[in-house]
Chain A
């Protein structure tokens, strides 16, 4: 994971830790709140960065990192789950990811 994300991410503790999950979110975004609620309801541990709440330089670094690594447009929530990613709130895909991976 990028150093900038590691430095900025806040951890939400959960008992389910089989997958390494980071979400890039906006503090104002209803879909991002739904994504966090989806993870919280399942007691899944994750990290998040509210991208609208960080400095320009940090925004720039994170967005460039995501664009280069995932070759994707950035919509929120942007979930990184181990080596996979999901753009936008998509509970169907979250279910698949949780079932398909982890120990």
Chain B
């Protein structure tokens, strides 16, 4: 699948959600915005970095942010959705009864500091 296209990225996130027993955000505007962000990052960076976080552009430094990010599973379990709200827990719409949830940043501060150091080089 060509993840630099919107259709290809949709297929990719569908496969990810099925594999993990998650569901995808059902708000079409939000979902499409998230897909657009992922496609932009795939085209500009070469990998589908989380659209809601600042990528460094260095794949090694951004590895934990590549969608699905390293924090998605824990966030979905705890808050019902990943940081971006792209992936959601299967019962999200029945139990949480909100359009979206605000998920606090779980990425370790040291990783952000490493990105800042990278920008300064």
- List A residues at the B interface (Cβ < 8 Å): 26-33, 51-52, 56-57, 59-60, 63-64, 67, 73-76, 88-90
Contacts and interface: CB of A to CB of B under 8 A. Distances in A.
**Would you call the interface of chain B mostly helix, strand, loop, or mixed?**
helix
10 contacts: A26-B51, A26-B54, A28-B41, A30-B51, A32-B52, A60-B119, A63-B116, A73-B109, A76-B53, A88-B102
Nearest to B39: A28
A90 B40 CA distance: 25
B51 A28 contact: yes
Nearest to B84: A30
Nearest to A64: B116
B36 interface: yes
Given A26-B53, A60-B120, A90-B102, 8 more contacts: A26-B37, A28-B40, A28-B51, A30-B34, A32-B52, A74-B112, A76-B52, A88-B102
B5 interface: no
B116 A73 contact: no
Given A56-B119, A60-B116, A30 B109 contact: no
A67 B118 CA distance: 16
Nearest to A52: B54
Contacts, number: 57
Interface in B26-43: 30, 33-34, 36-38, 40-41
Contact of A31 (B38, B52, B119, B120): B52
Contacts of A51: 54
Contacts of B41: 28
A27 B52 CA distance: 9
A44 B112 CA distance: 31
A64 B120 CA distance: 10
